């Protein structure tokens, strides 16, 4: 997605050979025009899948998921990382390890919102080692719903997450795949080699 790649080049900051900071438009401050375009792109890529629910993680996955939900006419459910007074019973739960934050989180959703009759699209902001996506896949499997695929805003193609998901046969649609962050330079993978 050319618009997203331009935004990454203009406003993204390489912090190390494997960390890209995109707080200016995705992770802290959100560019609503870009999010609308991202939602439209996910909707186009998954228009044939009859999506009934979109599943993401709080908080950075919510904006792109919501925009895709508008286009696909599908509710958005987000896995909570923290317990809530209103989310205590009848939960689907899994544990996700974050390499960026070096912590594990129990992710939970209410059993009220995804059933075995649903067709679920997972959307997340980043794909690096695949732990968040695998955790969300685990939740979908617990619900016995159908997993239509996984939509990722930015994939770090130099890490194993995308390879793992593709080798397991999941439909994976990444809007921008970064091939390298070496020497502070952002290099994208060619669309043809995705």
Q: Considering its fold, how many domains does the chain have in total?
A: 1
Q: Is the pLDDT of residue 192 over 60?
A: no
Q: Which tens digit of pLDDT belongs to each residue from 168-186?
A: 999 999 999 999 999 999 9
pTM: predicted TM-score of the whole model, two decimal places: 0.93
Residue 119: is its pLDDT beyond 60?
yes
Q: pLDDT digits over 81-92, tens only?
A: 866 655 667 899
pLDDT digits (tens, 9 = 90+) for 17-35: 889 999 999 989 999 999 9
Token pair listed for 159: 């890490």
For the chain, give the number of residues: 194
- CATH number of the domain that residue 63 is part of: 3.40.50.2020
Instruction: Please determine, for residue 193, whether its predicted confidence score (pLDDT) is greater than 70.
Output: no
């Amino acid at each position: 997605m050319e618009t997203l790649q331009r935004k990454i080049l203009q406003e993204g900051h390489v912090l190390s050979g494997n960390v890209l900071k995109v707080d200016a438009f995705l992770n802290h401050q959100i560019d609503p025009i870009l999010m609308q375009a991202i939602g439209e792109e996910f909707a186009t890529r998954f228009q044939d899948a009859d999506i009934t629910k979109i599943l993401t993680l709080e908080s950075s996955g919510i904006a792109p998921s919501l925009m895709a939900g508008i286009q696909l006419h599908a509710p958005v459910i987000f896995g909570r990382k923290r317990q809530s007074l209103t989310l205590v019973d009848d939960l689907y739960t899994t544990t996700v390890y974050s390499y960026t934050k070096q912590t594990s989180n129990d992710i939970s959703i209410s059993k009220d919102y995804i059933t075995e009759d649903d067709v679920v699209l997972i959307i997340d902001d980043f794909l690096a080692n695949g732990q968040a996506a695998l955790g969300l896949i685990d939740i979908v499997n617990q619900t016995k719903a159908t997993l239509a695929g996984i939509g990722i805003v930015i994939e770090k193609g130099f890490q194993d997450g995308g390879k793992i998901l593709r080798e397991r046969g999941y439909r994976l649609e990444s809007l921008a795949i970064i091939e390298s962050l070496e020497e502070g330079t952002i290099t994208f993978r060619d669309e043809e080699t995705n």
